[in-house]
Amino acid sequence: YADALYEALPGGGVLARFGVGYDNINLARATEKGLLCTNTPGVLEDSVAEMTIALILSAARHVPEMNESTRKGGWTPRKGMELRGKRIAVIGCGQIGCSVARIASAGFGMEVIGCEISDVDTEKMKREHGFSLLVKDFAEAVNLADFVTLHIPSIPATHHFINTRRLETIPRKAWLINTSRGTVADETALYDAIESGSLSGAALDVFETEPYVPAEPEKDLRKLPNVILVPHVSSYTEDACRRIAD
């Protein structure tokens, strides 16, 4: 199908990506065929940031488990945690990461630690987005974190960025949230960390293979009760879709 698409369009034709990034476009092939490629940056930040916070709240208050139990006729209250005063590490402080930081700090009174390898105006980031601290080192950013949320692009340098070594630096009490791209996390390493108790849980909107297929059949994230999984919907709101179309 992909080959047919590139062959069907004439030189100078346009592949207009309905979304952000070029994950599903073979840029080398498009260049070879003389095709122009576009996408729609700057339209998804609010939707993705809000979904990130929704996943954090779902994890903090055990919403998925209690919903399932109550629907089955059960009545199993679970003690949750407040977000006020908790520490969140925002990995990748672009537009979405900054939106998450603003909501977490101003809306919930969380302590926000940013991890960003690019040089940024630290004082401006603190003033405008509510960061308490900005660092470049991942281990320093996640130290004492209650939640670690990923907002980094899918590029060769970030493939399996979350691996066994980095997972070992995240506190046992923490939840990992991923609304960026599935390839940035090693799902097998993530399964091992959660199953062993070295990580409290994970809330995932994106996966290395979509629809989700476990990298190793015996390490299926769907089998773990402290994993929340949704089908890549963080940017899928009426509002964001309208902005993309416009």
What residues are annotated to the active site? 181, 210, 232
**Cis peptide, bond prior to residue 64, ω within 30 of zero:** no
Residues near 57 by beta carbon (within 8 Å), at least 6 away in sequence: 63, 83
Distance, CA of 108 to CA of 130 (rounded, Å): 11
Distance CA 221, CA 41 (A): 31
**CA 18 → CA 24, 42, 75, 95, distances in Å?**
11, 12, 43, 18
Residue 223 CA to its chain's centroid (Å): 20
H or E element, residue 210: none
CA 244 vs. chain centroid, Å, equals 20
**DSSP-assigned letter for residue 38:** E
Q: Can you tell me the distance from the alpha carbon of 112 to that of 104, in angstroms, rounded to the nearest whole number?
A: 7
Which ranges in the chain belong to alpha helices (H)? 2-8, 27-32, 45-60, 63-71, 95-102, 108, 122-129, 138-142, 164-167, 187-196, 238-245
